[in-house]
Amino acid sequence: MKNYENLNVSLSEGILLIEINRPKALNALNRKTLEELDDVFNFARGSDEVMGVILTGAGDKSFVAGADITEIKKLNTYEGIEFAKFGQGIFRKIETLGKVVVAAINGFALGGGCELAMSCSVRFASENAKLGQPEVKLGLIPGYGGTQRLVRLIGKGRALKLLLTGDMVDAKEAFEVGLVDAVFPHENLIEESKKFLKRVFKNSPLACKLVLDAVNGGEELELDAALQVEANLFGISAGSQDAKEGITAFLEKRSPNFSGK
């Protein structure tokens, strides 16, 4: 396991815990941090030891407070496009990892932090969490996918309300509109995230990967095309060793022993 400048990383019981560690900057995403996230998620994709990921922020104030404003201030138009595409590419890699990634939102998730959380498979928030896309207050718009993923998660009207006002929502409202999937006391957030992943790990790793592929591969397609994606991936699952084992175990009234094949 590598040592990173801005990340604390550990692996235990199949769970890769990634903690963004820039507490003096409220864990804001500078380019170095993004490069390190890119590297550690490359590791997660290629490692058989990593079954799932928890992504969180150091300290008790902030998940990620946004992108690093000091870097954005220096950008011209063309550099801005490159800046956005660089972050988008990393966040898309997280979204399509093929393994469940839990965003454990332990405080502020603003701007790039909210966009990072939305690229994860599920979002769990502590009771003190606050989320939002305040870029318009700085004369900017979201550049790491916020205008696209927020609409998909909570609907066009609610998304535009947040995007155009730059308002923050607390954990309760974020849960009510579907921006986060559960809210826990701050001190229980990581443990509850681990419990969720361990429940996922009891299922077929191949089937879980195919679920993620079906959802991510079909959400931007017309329904008929998306259903074809699902049918193709169902076929792969039906012919798998895991399906044979899962069905046999069910009929024999025992726990399955999945191989991920």
Contact 123, 79 (CB under 8 A): no
What does the pLDDT look like over 144-186, one tens digit per residue? 999 999 999 999 999 999 999 999 999 999 999 999 999 999 9
Average pLDDT over residues 134-140: 96
Percent of the chain predicted with pLDDT > 90 = 94
**Helix (H) or strand (E) run with residue 132 in it:** strand 130-132
What does the pLDDT look like over 2-31, one tens digit per residue? 899 999 999 999 999 999 999 989 999 999
Contact 54, 100 (CB under 8 A): no
Of residues 219 and 185, the one with the higher pLDDT is 185
Q: Which class is domain 7-201?
A: alpha beta
The set of catalytic residues is 115, 135
Say if residue 16 is exposed, middle or buried (CB neighbours under 10 Å; 0-12, 13-18, 19+). buried
Identical fold, 7-201 and 205-251: no
Look up the pTM and report it. 0.94
Query: HSE of 247 in the Cβ direction (CA atoms, 13 Å)?
Result: 8
pLDDT tops 80 at residue 1: no
**Alpha-carbon span 179 to 125, nearest angstrom:** 10
Is 1.10.620 the CATH number for 205-251? Answer: no
Region of residue 105 (left: phi > 0; alpha: psi -120 to 50; beta: else): beta
Instruction: Report the chain's terminal Cα–Cα distance, integer Å.
Output: 26
| Per-domain boundaries in the chain | 7-201, 205-251
Bridge pairing between strands 15-20 and 7-12: antiparallel
**Alpha-carbon span 241 to 260, nearest angstrom:** 8
Bridge pairing between strands 100-105 and 62-64: unpaired
68: confidence class by pLDDT, cuts 50, 70, 90: confident
Region of residue 77 (left: phi > 0; alpha: psi -120 to 50; beta: else): alpha
